[in-house]
């Protein structure tokens, strides 16, 4: 097989060469524990400090406001559980129907099963046909018992970008903590926490060209916090566990690289994504783009092809060495349309044929050409053999 065309960057990304080089010494020679009382350990400690500065610089916050975690999921769990634990008099959570399971699954568990004998009321805000939230809905959902609002910055399936600045502003006015899952936003679009009313923010290394198994949580200075992992004094008593020094160094380097690549993402990657969508829609009848046309990440295309199964498209693309995704990477395996497509009210026949292609700065125009050449005949073939494929839309029931 020739080298794969990797259009699945919202699922995970390749490790940047610069990142691998930066972390390598800490996998090898510089294996000290950052808290040891010797120079060897201190070298590791210094590398962790540098990485914290690099991440803080990308986000526009102070280094002390960054806690390193094991992944985006841990960051989300830590943020929400901390908000609830530090607000024992409150019993209500506001989130959306389109969150990643790392937020949605936790919130549903807290409302259905509860934790430590307490159950929280949960409001999951709807989205419209373009996957967009209504701001008045956010305001109306918040009441005197609301402990936290958790709304993702950008959706992993559609790339839709939520107005987190406005949402955070409403939360601040009402004195409610605001957390955002920014795993898909960080590195793709500018984030400047010094100017935003955001109390906590989650990010994940492997979505921005660092390895899997490293994440970070921003906790704004002054926000009450309760750790998830109880142990040693690492991370200023906010996360027990010996620091994953090589991964932390990698995340720092990836953050530094991302800052320098954002312009490429905003221009070249966006232009490739737009061309991909335009050409595919021109060549495939009964196809539509899912998600808000303007308020969207530059790298994500989510297209529904009527009368075909997304899984079948994936298998046939895979045979050509093209990697994409259908629905959410976490839910494929089941044939139900993803919770995001359902929340958007995408018709069942279209939701089934949804294909997500997510690009990165490593993709090329030649790869886009190849997908534009390969995909339309695949759709035609699948429609020819589909039991629905030959019927006119009006005849379907």
Ligand X SMILES: *Cc1c(COP(=O)(O)O)cnc(C)c1O
Query: So which residues are the catalytic ones?
Result: 330
Smallest separation (angstroms) from ligand X to the CB of 74: 7
Strands 215-219 and 200-204: antiparallel
Smallest separation (angstroms) from ligand X to the CB of 230: 20
Nearer to ligand X, 100 or 238 (CB): 100
Nearer to ligand X, 74 or 235 (CB): 74
Smallest separation (angstroms) from ligand X to the CB of 72: 3
- Binder among 156, 312, 354, 363 for ligand X (CB under 6 A): 156
User: Could you tell me which stretch among 177-185, 218-226, 312-320, 374-382 binds ligand X (CB under 6 A)?
Assistant: 177-185
Residue nearest ligand X, CB atom distance: 72
Nearer to ligand X, 106 or 382 (CB): 106
Binding mask 222-261 for ligand X (x = CB under 6 A): ----------------------------------------
Smallest separation (angstroms) from ligand X to the CB of 381: 31
- Binder among 90, 188, 207, 209 for ligand X (CB under 6 A): 207
Which of 373, 332, 368, 377 is CA-nearest to residue 351? 332
Nearer to ligand X, 287 or 340 (CB): 340
- Binder among 9, 13, 54, 73 for ligand X (CB under 6 A): 73
Nearer to ligand X, 73 or 302 (CB): 73
Which of 296, 328, 326, 310 is CA-nearest to residue 101? 328
Smallest separation (angstroms) from ligand X to the CB of 94: 17
User: Could you tell me which stretch among 70-78, 269-277, 368-376, 389-397 binds ligand X (CB under 6 A)?
Assistant: 70-78
Smallest separation (angstroms) from ligand X to the CB of 101: 8
Q: Which two tokens stand for residue 68?
A: 């390193």
> Which residues inside 281-310 make contact with ligand X, applying CB under 6 A?
none
Q: Mind spelling out the 3-state secondary structure of the chain?
A: CCCCEECECCCCCCCCHHHHHHHHHHHCCCCCCCCCCCHHHHHHHHHHHHHHHHHHHHHCCCHHHEEEECCHHHHHHHHHHHHHHCCCCCCEEEEECCCCHHHHHHHHHHHHCCECCECCEEEEECCCCCCCCCHHHHHHHCCCCEEEEECCCECCCCCEECCHHHHHHHHHHHCCEEEEECCCCECCECCCHHHCCCCEEEEEHHHCCCCCCCEEEEECCCCCCCCCCCCCCHHHHCCCCCCCHHHHHHHHHHHHHHHHHHHHHHHHHHHHHHHHHHHHHHHCCCEEECCCCCCECCCEEEEEECCCCHHHHHHHHHHCCEECECCCCCCECECCCCHHHHHCCCCHHHHHCEEEEECCCCCCHHHHHHHHHHHHHHHHHHHHHCCCCCCCHHHCC
Smallest separation (angstroms) from ligand X to the CB of 291: 14
Nearer to ligand X, 150 or 312 (CB): 150
Q: Contacts with ligand X: how many residues (CB under 6 A)?
A: 14
Rounded to 5°, the CA angle 65-181-160 comes to: 135
User: Could you tell me which stretch among 110-118, 181-189, 305-313, 349-357 binds ligand X (CB under 6 A)?
Assistant: 181-189
- Binder among 55, 132, 170, 183 for ligand X (CB under 6 A): 183
- Binder among 215, 227, 310, 353 for ligand X (CB under 6 A): 215
Rounded Cα distance between 248 and 394, Å, is 56
Smallest separation (angstroms) from ligand X to the CB of 204: 3
Question: How many CB atoms sit inside 10 A of residue 83's CB?
Answer: 25
Binding of ligand X at residue 184 (CB under 6 A)? yes
Q: Which residues bind ligand X (CB under 6 A)?
A: 71-73, 100, 102, 152, 156, 181, 183-184, 204, 206-207, 215
């Amino acid at each position: 097989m020739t080298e794969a065309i990797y259009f699945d960057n919202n699922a995970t990304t390749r490790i940047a060469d610069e990142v691998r080089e930066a972390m390598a010494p800490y996998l090898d020679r510089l294996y000290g524990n950052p808290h040891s009382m010797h120079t060897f350990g201190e070298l590791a400690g210094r590398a962790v400090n540098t990485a914290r500065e690099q991440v803080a610089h990308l986000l526009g916050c102070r280094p002390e406001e960054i806690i390193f975690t094991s992944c985006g999921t841990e960051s989300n769990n830590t943020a929400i559980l901390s908000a609830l634990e530090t607000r024992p008099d409150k019993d209500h959570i506001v989130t959306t129907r389109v969150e990643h399971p790392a937020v949605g699954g936790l919130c549903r568990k807290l409302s259905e099963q509860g934790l430590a004998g307490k159950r929280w009321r949960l409001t999951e805000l709807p989205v419209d046909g373009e996957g967009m939230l209504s701001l008045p809905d956010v305001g109306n959902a918040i009441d005197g018992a609301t402990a936290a609002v958790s709304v993702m910055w950008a959706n992993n399936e559609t790339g839709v970008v939520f107005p987190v600045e406005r949402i955070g502003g409403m939360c601040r006015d009402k004195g409610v903590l605001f957390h955002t899952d920014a795993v898909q936003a960080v590195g793709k679009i500018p984030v400047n926490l010094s100017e935003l009313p955001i109390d906590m923010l989650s990010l994940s290394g492997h979505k921005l060209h660092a390895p899997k198994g490293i994440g970070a949580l921003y906790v704004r200075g002054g926000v009450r916090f309760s750790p998830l992992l109880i142990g040693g004094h690492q991370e200023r008593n906010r996360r027990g566990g010996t620091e994953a020094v090589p991964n932390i160094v990698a995340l720092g380097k990836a953050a530094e690289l991302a800052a320098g690549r954002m312009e490429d993402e905003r221009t070249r990657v966006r232009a490739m994504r737009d061309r991909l969508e335009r050409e595919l829609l021109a060549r495939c009848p009964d196809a539509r783009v899912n998600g808000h046309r303007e308020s969207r990440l530059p790298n994500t295309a989510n297209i529904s092809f009527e009368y075909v199964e997304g899984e079948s498209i994936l298998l046939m693309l895979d045979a050509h060495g093209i990697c994409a995704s259908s629905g959410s990477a976490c839910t494929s395996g089941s044939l139900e349309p993803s919770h995001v497509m359902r929340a958007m009210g995408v018709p069942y026949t279209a939701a089934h044929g949804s294909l997500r292609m997510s690009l990165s700065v490593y993709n090329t125009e030649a790869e886009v050409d190849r997908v534009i050449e390969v995909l339309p005949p695949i759709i035609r073939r699948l429609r020819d053999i589909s039991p629905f494929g030959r019927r006119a839309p009006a005849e379907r029931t």
